[in-house]
Amino acid sequence: MHNINELKSLLSEAKKIVITTHHKPDGDAMGSSLGLYHFLLSLGHQVHLVTPSDYPYFLHWLPGNSEVIDFQIQADKSMQLVTEADLIFCTDFNALSRIGALGELVRQSAAKKVMIDHHLEPEGFEDFTFWDVRACAAAELVYRLIVTLGYGHHIDKDIATCLYTGIMTDSGSFRFPSTSAEVHRIIADLIDKGANNSRIHELIYDTNTENRLKFLGHVLSQKMVIMTEINTAYIYIDQEELKKYQIVTGDTEGIVNYALSINGIRFAILVVDRGEARKLSFRSKGEFPANEVAKKYFEGGGHRNAAGGISFLSLSETVAKIKSILPEFEEMLKQ
């Protein structure tokens, strides 16, 4: 990162700080942001975490959760905080379009902006960049930032718990290729500093509702299409199903991974009809660039093996579009 000393000197005096993260924050977005939140509080700053939307119930146990401000619920307060901030930290995203209406407020704010992220193609809106696409999680970068600033000794149980959660969720519980030896060393340190690894795993992954499991059973048995010849599987979910099973934010997370877990499948797609738009999740194995499909055809992006996008066509038209574009990637998918 450039100007680490300048950032350190900015942090040497009490500041009004806002942290924000991407729309529909996931485990890494909330883990990295709340880890940073507790760290900045430990330095004596006035800190607020503003999310552009709600986030899954299985993250609501994270330390600091009750202090989080949801822009969609507290718009006026959020605007005031962003406008009056001296410093704004943007974690787990690198383009202001990822935070919806908050984006323009952040762009216009006189605050210095710090971007902490691991996604490709940063937009470049920030004053301080802490960016590494090789990092398995934004939470890994928050850890490295704290240590680089010379405050490793500030990492307490709350910070360790939040950062552990971010790294665990974004690395697929330490199994994705980005899980380097260094990540394991960081994880060991976080456990030393109080993160209860086994309990955190339970709180994230073993809190299914009965509805969610039944929904999963329905979707996998009725709504998954496997195209064996091109090593691809897709799942499509309509609004009626979301209603019937009382699906809430977070309930569809991870479903795409079931399609990818089928032997031989290299590319998996999940389409969920969210009413106002169709949200797509892409996952791949090996070299297949899921993010390029998302970028070229669905106004999205992400990492090579995990990307997302959006479609304003109907659900059936979106599925037809997926089928029509797959032949373009056939050669790569068959390898």
The only residue of 15, 38, 48, 303 in contact with ligand 5GP, by rule CB under 6 A:
303
Phi, psi of 124 (to 5 degrees): 90, 35
Contact segment (CB under 6 A) with ligand 5GP among 62-70, 80-88, 159-167, 305-313 equals 305-313
Cβ closer to ligand 5GP: 164 or 298?
298
Residue nearest to ligand 5GP (CB): 308
The only residue of 114, 307, 319, 333 in contact with ligand 5GP, by rule CB under 6 A:
307
The DSSP line for 150-197 is T-GGG--HHHHHHHHHHHHHHTTTTTSTT--HHHHHHHHHHHHTT--H
Cβ closer to ligand 5GP: 38 or 278?
278
Instruction: Report 115-174 residues binding ligand 5GP (CB under 6 A).
Output: 119
Cβ closer to Mn ion: 176 or 297?
176
The reply to whether 301 sits near ligand 5GP by the rule CB under 6 A is yes
Distances (CA, A) of 50 to 16, 82, 160, 202, 207: 13, 9, 21, 26, 25
The reply to whether 306 sits near ligand 5GP by the rule CB under 6 A is yes
Q: Which residues contact 46 (CB under 8 A, 6 or more apart)?
A: 14, 15, 16, 17
Helix (H) or strand (E) run with residue 277 in it: none
Region of residue 19 (phi > 0: left; psi between -120 and 50: alpha; otherwise: beta): beta
138 binds, among Mn ion, ligand 5GP, none (CB under 5 to 8 A by kind): Mn ion
The reply to whether 52 sits near ligand 5GP by the rule CB under 6 A is no
Contact segment (CB under 6 A) with ligand 5GP among 3-11, 129-137, 159-167, 306-314 equals 306-314
Residues that bind Mn ion in the complex, under the rule CB under 5 A = 28, 92, 138, 170
The only residue of 178, 242, 300, 311 in contact with ligand 5GP, by rule CB under 6 A:
300
Q: Do residues 58 and 165 lie in contact, with contact meaning Cβ atoms separated by under 8 Å?
A: no
